[in-house]
Structure 1
Amino acid sequence: MYILDTDSLSNIVKSRPSPRLLKNLRSLPSEFQYTTSINVAEIYYGAYRSPRKEKILRAFEETVFPNVTVLPFDEETAQVYGQLKAKLEKRGINRNEPDLRIASIALQHKFILVSGNIRHFKDIPRLKIENWLE
């Protein structure tokens, strides 16, 4: 099972999406394709900041969102998040909140995170990550 990070979701609707990303998604049944409520919030935030808001929203709502299952940040995720953040702080590592929440959801479900932002997640123990944008 795979969680698509915001950069992967955004790449899908680009005029020239990553061939590797598209190939991997086409070979993967839709029931194995997930994202998180955090990623969806980031997509909406980006769209509402853009002068092309309607076009961006339509692309995601027609092309992307119907094909992925959105995982919530729930009480169980909150526990994973709290443990993870405390461990990282003890090691002197600070990550931004959205990335920690996305990683917590991936860890909770034991899913692989698909992201081109490897450096955002590299210090997170047990997180499996793949870059399909290269």
Structure 2
Amino acid sequence: MKYILDTNVCINFLKGNIPSLAKKFSSVSKENRIIPSVVRAELFYGAYKSTFPEKNIKVVKEFLNLHPELDFDSKSSEIYGQIRTDLEKKGTPIGPYDLQIAAITIANNCILVTHNTKEFSRVNNLQIEDWEISANS
């Protein structure tokens, strides 16, 4: 199975905030831990605005080089439109970056790994795992 990593999971892994998360990461081959372009952009944003940008940019680049990337493509764009329309009709919208991440995940038949399950659980047909909880169990 292939997994899409959300920004919060990548940050917590890099910070070492949740030691058992490293064990969960190592149980899934790096080829199956995918970081989409929008998450990459968020990670670079965080690194550039940090107190130590040079150091953090290097850490982010090294981390990203270990993982495949998926882009927000035509198929993802259409799914984005479907998800956004559905959530707006229900009155439960989510942020645009999270919409892109969800669309990329669904378009590529992957499982989204996130600790932000409350927001992403509103998206129909999105498979979600919270490795921060399962890593601690």
Shared fold per TM-score greater than 0.5? yes
Counterpart-to-counterpart distance in 2, 1:57 and 1:17: 19
Partner residue, 1:24: 24
Confirm or deny: 8 A CA contact 2:3 2:34 kept in the other structure. Answer: yes
Partner residue, 2:10: 9
Confirm or deny: 8 A CA contact 1:81 1:101 kept in the other structure. Answer: yes
Question: Normalising by structure 2, what TM-score?
Answer: 0.91
Runs of 4 or more above 4 Å deviation: none
Partner residue, 2:61: 61
Confirm or deny: 8 A CA contact 2:36 2:70 kept in the other structure. Answer: yes
Secondary structure in structure 1 of the residue aligned to 2:131:
coil
| 2:93 is the alignment partner of 1:97 | no
Counterpart-to-counterpart distance in 2, 1:93 and 1:133: 25
Consecutive unaligned residues of structure 2, counting only runs of 5 or more, are: none
For residues 45-101 of structure 1, the C-alpha deviation after alignment (integer angstroms, 9 at most, x for no partner) is 111111211111111112x11221110001111001011111111111111100011
**CA RMSD for the aligned pairs?**
1.2
Question: Normalising by structure 1, what TM-score?
Answer: 0.93
Q: What is the identity percentage for the equivalent residue pairs of Structure 1 and Structure 2?
A: 36
Give, in angstroms, the shift of residue 17 of structure 1: 3.9
Confirm or deny: 8 A CA contact 1:4 1:114 kept in the other structure. Answer: yes
For residues 12-70 of structure 1, the C-alpha deviation after alignment (integer angstroms, 9 at most, x for no partner) is 221x34233211211111111101100001111111111211111111112x1122111
Give, in angstroms, the shift of residue 125 of structure 1: 0.5
The count of residues paired between Structure 1 and Structure 2 equals: 132
Counterpart-to-counterpart distance in 2, 1:49 and 1:109: 31
Consecutive unaligned residues of structure 1, counting only runs of 5 or more, are: none
